[in-house]
Amino acid sequence: MRMIRVALAALLLLAGTVAAHAAEFVVLIQSEPAGRLLVNTAPDGSITTDFSYRDNGRGPDQRETIRLGPDGIPVQYEMSGRSTYGAEVRETYRREAGRARWQSHADSGDEPVPADFVFIPLDATLGYHDRVVRALLSRPDAALPTIAGLKLQTERGIRLTIPGPDGPVPLALAVVTGAGTEPDYYWIRDDGSNALLGIVWPGFAVIEKGYESLVPALLTRQLQAQDERLVQLRRRLAQPIEGATLIRSVRWFDAPAARMRGPSDVWLFDGRIGAVVPPGALKARPDRVVEGAGRTLLPGLWDMHAHMWPEGGLAHLAGGVTSVRDPANLNEEILRLQRRTARGELAGPAIHIAGFIEGKSAYSSRNGFVVDSVEAGLAAVDWYAARGFRSIKLYSSVKPAWVKPIAARAHAQGMHVSGHVPAFMRAEEAVRAGYDEITHINQVMLNFVVRPGDDTRTLMRFERVGADGGRLDLEGPQARAFIRLLRERGTVVDPTLGTFEAMFTQKQGEPNPSLADVAANLPVLWQRGLKAAEIDLQGKKLTTYRGSYQRMLDMTLALHRAGVPLVAGTDGWAGLGLHRELALYVKAGIPALEALRIGTWNGARVAGESATRGRIARGYAADLVLVDGDPAADITTLRRAVMVFQGQVAYLPAQLYEAQGYKPFVPGAEFLAP
């Protein structure tokens, strides 16, 4: 799911003294209380925070101490606690004598800085970011320098007045840029204090206690502001390609056959592929030409496990991902995003949605429908079917006894059934009960290592695989029988290997292996977080978990060799994450051409779109990506996209990356005169 900053209130600094103050904020997930943030300001001006919430059986626990300078900018910071996945997190920072010094669980630094320097910790809560926003708004230019020579800036956007316990409360939306790939939005009191009231996102909010009922209205106004920005970006970055476009003399990927062909001339017209012919075979005059020599044309990539949000569309397109399947989101929000993207208002891939059904429990993931009976589950299937959904995803708190009737109801409507294996059920049982697809390779591995009583709604679904997965005998009778069952039933597996690579192999302080070789292209502040591991791994545990991850790779290869259909999903970074996912298939031993087929044709076929997308052939949608080089020889060439075609528009990935603060991998291609 999307990473969200957290932050909030403290008190005004008045003539060097501060009145003691305590504030409480509620964490809401899908409108339900899931935790809280406590912010206390002591008489000496120091601020302490206590932040904790739980969602889907996991969540952070953090405590902070913050001290401000005379100008209101934080000059000292301490944080300790646990990350969402249970890793120890800690960080200290101090600015004095013109230097900034910091030490975290992932990195350290010591550098000269200006007097108005503001530090951005790896895992700060709203209590810290509240003070950063106030400091920014106190400056004449609403800007402050931060690490790596970057600058944070803010502007006051929407202004409105809301009802409060003590009368009307004026608010403004503070929009902060410079910290990452997209703006951060904060609702602040527009009364001179600039104190933060909260942050709101679809399905997630941290809001001052007593103001919970206002979240929907604030979210509506914020999404309007966000949409206006994204609409303008799309207008600026999308290049219309009306008429006939010739991609000249290009190598191209025949996805169903998993073969490179060409060179050929590929003609595009009216959003579709008009012809694929030998170079120069057609004497027609195009409206524009794209040089294909030395390049490879592929069908647009499919990310079959992408949790979409409006800002993520640019990163997907930059990576050549023109279609995604979103398997868990807020129904109203994802349908809204799907419609706006399809109409061409927002830049992003075509979105295919899996209807999400979860059981009600203390560990529920609060997306789609959270049901407390099989009857409610059947009603949820009908709701999705009536709206044209082609698939259903079941989740961890669904009771095992519900799977068969829910799957049968979905199959009766021609729908595909996928998901996590419910707690206290094994993957084999889920397949026999009606699963058409298993999501995540750890869910496959749990089939062999889960123990009676293991509650896989918790972090146990990772810990059991990490501790015992490396001992699985893939040539043993149990593994061979299960793989045979998947092959015979045509059960699809979405491994999401990239989801587990860092989780199972990264030592604290070492670079995230999934992004280490593209770190120089990432936004600078994002680079700091690459050294923060999700799980504490060291010594024997590190060796054991790394062995288990290798067995995940081995299992993926065994599935492929046995003829079990695979699709490529990420459950993580847009665009770049899919490049890494396909590279991991190659690392596991799957030939690059086969990996490319998994990332194109297999996705289109499983999504029910293989009649119009997923291959380069006459009449197919012009959803294509042109890359420098040959990804069959080097799968990482996928990063070198020079042009992405999406129907009747084209994008230059270099421009898309720059709009998000990335360093482009290669310059964009050019349209040449015929």
3-state SS of 177-245 is ECCCCCCEEEEEECCCCCCEEEEEECCEEEEECCCHHHHHHHHHHHHHHHHHHHHHHHHHHCEECCCEE
* Cβ 306 vs Cβ 574: under 8 Å: yes
> Mean of the pLDDT values across residues 612-626?
97
Q: What is the mean pLDDT of the chain?
A: 92
CA distances from 49 to 23, 66, 129, 196, 592 (A): 10, 8, 12, 14, 49
- Least reliable range by pLDDT among 373-377, 516-520, 605-609, 624-628: 516-520
CA distances from 541 to 89, 504, 507 (A): 18, 10, 10
Which tokens in the block code for residue 662?
């990335």
Q: At what angle do helices 477-489 and 539-562 cross, to 10 degrees?
A: 40
The CB density around residue 240, as the number of other CB atoms within 10 Å, is 8
Burial of residue 187 (number of CB atoms within 10 Å: 0-12, 13-18, 19+)? buried
Whether the predicted pLDDT of 644 surpasses 60: yes
Whether the predicted pLDDT of 528 surpasses 90: no
Most confident of the ranges 80-94, 398-412, 504-518: 398-412
* Cβ 635 vs Cβ 609: under 8 Å: no
- Least reliable range by pLDDT among 401-415, 594-608, 657-671: 657-671
- Ordered by start, the domain boundaries in the chain are 21-236
The CB density around residue 451, as the number of other CB atoms within 10 Å, is 9
Whether the predicted pLDDT of 665 surpasses 50: yes
pLDDT of residue 18: 47
Dihedral angle computed from the Cα positions of residues 343, 181, 303 and 465, in that order, rounded to the nearest 10 degrees: -150
pLDDT of residue 19: 53
Whether the predicted pLDDT of 8 surpasses 80: no
In this structure, what DSSP letter does residue 631 have? T
Choose among 141, 163, 171: nearest CA to 154. Answer: 141
* Phi, psi values for residue 665, rounded to 5°: -80, -35
Which tokens in the block code for residue 305?
């496990």
Place of tokens 């889920």: 430
Whole-number Å distance between alpha carbons of 78 and 663: 32
pLDDT digit string, tens, across residues 307-345? 998 889 999 999 999 999 999 888 998 999 999 999 999
Q: Is the dihedral of CA 319, 326, 581, 1 positive or negative?
A: positive
Whether the predicted pLDDT of 3 surpasses 60: no
What confidence tier does 2 reach under pLDDT thresholds 50, 70, 90? very low
Residues contacting residue 191 through CB under 8 Å, at least 6 positions apart? 169, 170
* Cβ 544 vs Cβ 429: under 8 Å: no
pLDDT of residue 17: 44
Whether the predicted pLDDT of 14 surpasses 80: no
Whole-number Å distance between alpha carbons of 171 and 159: 6
Whether the predicted pLDDT of 635 surpasses 50: yes
Residues contacting residue 386 through CB under 8 Å, at least 6 positions apart? none
Strands 61-68 and 151-164: unpaired
DSSP, collapsed to helix, strand or coil, labels residue 135 as helix
pLDDT of residue 85: 80
- Percent of the chain's residues with pLDDT above 70: 97
DSSP, collapsed to helix, strand or coil, labels residue 540 as helix
- Least reliable range by pLDDT among 98-102, 307-311, 604-608, 635-639: 307-311
Choose among 191, 322, 198, 205: nearest CA to 624. Answer: 322
- Percent of the chain's residues with pLDDT above 90: 80
Whether the predicted pLDDT of 494 surpasses 50: yes
Whole-number Å distance between alpha carbons of 377 and 375: 5
Dihedral angle computed from the Cα positions of residues 290, 292, 298 and 303, in that order, rounded to the nearest 10 degrees: -60
* Cβ 25 vs Cβ 187: under 8 Å: no
Whether the predicted pLDDT of 171 surpasses 50: yes
- Least reliable range by pLDDT among 50-59, 196-205, 492-501: 50-59
Whole-number Å distance between alpha carbons of 369 and 386: 15
Which tokens in the block code for residue 484?
């045979």
What confidence tier does 202 reach under pLDDT thresholds 50, 70, 90? confident
Choose among 66, 60, 39: nearest CA to 50. Answer: 39
> Mean of the pLDDT values across residues 180-184?
84
DSSP, collapsed to helix, strand or coil, labels residue 554 as helix
Which tokens in the block code for residue 334?
């994802």
CA distances from 132 to 7, 89, 126, 135, 154 (A): 9, 21, 10, 5, 10
Whole-number Å distance between alpha carbons of 648 and 268: 9
Q: At what angle do helices 576-588 and 497-505 cross, to 10 degrees?
A: 80
* Cβ 467 vs Cβ 544: under 8 Å: yes
> Mean of the pLDDT values across residues 351-375?
94
* Cβ 657 vs Cβ 666: under 8 Å: no
pLDDT of residue 10: 32
pLDDT higher at 43 or 406: 406
Choose among 651, 650, 653, 649: nearest CA to 640. Answer: 653
pLDDT of residue 20: 63
Which tokens in the block code for residue 312?
């993520």
pLDDT of residue 86: 81
What confidence tier does 534 reach under pLDDT thresholds 50, 70, 90? confident
pLDDT digit string, tens, across residues 536-576? 888 999 999 999 999 999 999 999 999 999 999 999 899 99
* Cβ 321 vs Cβ 312: under 8 Å: no
pLDDT of residue 241: 96
Distance of CA 485 to the CA centre of its chain: 32
In this structure, what DSSP letter does residue 638 have? G
Q: Can you spell out the DSSP letters for 641-656?
A: EEEEEETTEEE-HHHH
DSSP, collapsed to helix, strand or coil, labels residue 387 as coil
Whole-number Å distance between alpha carbons of 418 and 355: 10
* Cβ 441 vs Cβ 557: under 8 Å: no
Three-state SS sequence of 437-449: EEECHHHHHHHHH
CA distances from 642 to 347, 503, 599 (A): 17, 32, 19
Whether the predicted pLDDT of 42 surpasses 60: yes
pLDDT of residue 476: 96
* Cβ 588 vs Cβ 306: under 8 Å: no
pLDDT of residue 523: 81
Q: Can you spell out the DSSP letters for 456-494?
A: TTSTHHHHHHHHHGGG--TTSHHHHHHHHHHHHHT-EEE
Q: Which helix (H) or strand (E) holds 129?
A: helix 126-137
> Mean of the pLDDT values across residues 625-629?
98
Tell me the sheet residues that pair with 311: none
